[in-house]
Amino acid sequence: MQPISAVDAVSPAIERTKEFLFRPFKWGTYLKLGLVAIITEGLGENFNSSRSHVDHGVGGNGGHVPSVPWPFHVTPQWIAIGVAAVLLAFVLSVFVFYLITRLRFAFFHCLVHNTKEIKPRWRLYRGQASRFFWLNIVVGICFMVLLVLISLPFAAGFWRLFQESQQGGHFDIGLLLTLVLPLIPIVILLTVAGILSDLILRDGMMPHMALEDATAGEAWRQVRARIGAEKRQFIVYGLLRVILPTIATIGVFIVLALPGLMLAGSLAAIEWGVHSMFSGATGSSWLVGILLEVFFGVVAFGFALLASICVGGPLSTGTREYALIFYGGRYKALGDILYPPPAIVGGTTGAA
């Protein structure tokens, strides 16, 4: 496969997406692949936006800045419950992210080899997926350490704001704004760094780890060499990789906004009608009303899920196909699987 520019890779990515999802078209297979695409591309991102804190030495002049009542009284019991909830959520998030990482490798194999069976590929890349998972954890920890180091100079201001809200019973909006507004450039920079890291990890290093069983160091050296050789093309690719899915999502939202609102309005009207009809009911009539509300709520959720898969599935699949085609032109092992070279028979080139 010959290297192609970031712009020229868009068209073959669309063609491969259509072939993968629609040729032949089966509703069950389409919904399965679309859901997997959304999970692997739309969820489980390597980095989440984190909020840092900043202190500019502004005093709490409650008489000169707006304030609102602070309704929360934090006790040691609530602190312990909060810490336990955060730890539980963290453990569950790590486990879910591990499963998503395994699923990403299975979906990677399906896209590269144009096969639609997810389950047989689940165990095929178990070792590679585990190493890639821990690599992401290490990178994530590095990001968290960076956030802590950035937050340290600003922590005092937020701690003072918290103490004043507890003592005075009012939350100082003016002081909060003076602390938060300077964080906007820092958040933007960290977001850009997270996006770049994610592109390097998933679009560059992951194919090496999957196809060559490469270590993290080996995969990074190969990606760095290719980026160094074509800096301009990779910059354009990075921009298109972020911009194109965003534009496509906005376009689909605009097209489907009106029918979506009509459907949502109809279901909401039905829910309201059922609720009004059984609002004063008791006994079995009350139970029937509850069951009807639950039924129409499930129907609404089913429509929302179906629309998300039908729209998000092709967008997510196309995004990954675009990444594979662009990098496949610069990584021979990947490119030869995507577009197998013609076999040479008897000294002449012919179809395999």
Checking if the pLDDT of 53 tops 50, the result is no
Calculate the alpha carbon distances from 189 to 150, 195, 327 in Å: 12, 10, 25
Are residues 312 and 38 in contact, defined by beta-carbon separation less than 8 angstroms?
yes
Tell me, what's the pLDDT at 213?
Answer: 92
Q: Find, among 33, 178, 163, 172, the residue nearest to 108 by Cα.
A: 33
Higher pLDDT, 334 or 345: 334
User: CA triplet 342, 345, 349: central angle to 5 degrees?
Assistant: 45
Distance CA 9, CA 322 (A): 6
Among 51-55, 298-302, 348-352, which is the least confidently predicted range? Answer: 51-55
Each residue's pLDDT tens digit, 198-241: 999 999 999 999 999 999 999 999 999 999 999 999 999 999 99
Radius of gyration of the chain (CA): 26
Mutual angle of helices 126-168 and 216-229, in 10-degree steps: 90
Residues in a beta bridge with 350: 343
Which of 28-37, 98-107, 266-275 is least confident? 266-275
Which stretch of 33-42, 215-224, 324-333 has the lowest confidence by average pLDDT?
A: 33-42
Lowest mean pLDDT among 101-110, 243-252, 264-273: 264-273
Q: Over the chain, what is the mean pLDDT? A: 82
d(CA 272, CA 261): 16
Instruction: Give dist(CA 47, CA 58) in Å, integer.
Output: 32
What is the torsional sign of CA 5, 8, 13, 19? negative
Model pLDDT for residues 168-205, shown as the tens digit of each residue: 556 557 666 676 777 788 888 888 888 899 999 999 99
Counting residues of the chain whose pLDDT is more than 70, the rounded percentage is 81
Residue 311 pLDDT = 87
pLDDT of residue 257: 79
Check residue 171 and give its pLDDT.
58
User: Cα 55 from chain centroid?
Assistant: 31
Measured CA to CA in angstroms, residue 347 lies from 241, 272, 303, 344 at distances of: 41, 75, 57, 6
Q: Which amino acid is at 91?
A: V
Omega within 30 of 0 (cis) for the link into 76:
no
**Residue range 84-91: mean pLDDT, rounded:** 91
CB 54 within 8 A of CB 179: yes
Structural domain spans, the chain:
10-340
Q: Residue 339 above 70 pLDDT? A: yes
148 or 86, greater pLDDT: 86
pLDDT at 57: 40
- Mean pLDDT in residue range 11-38: 93
Token pair listed for 160: 């003072």
Cα separations in angstroms, 38 against 11, 12, 193, 201, 317: 21, 21, 23, 18, 8
- Span 152-165, pLDDT tens digits: 777 766 667 666 66
Phi-psi region of 57 (alpha: psi -120 to 50; beta: other; left: phi over 0): left
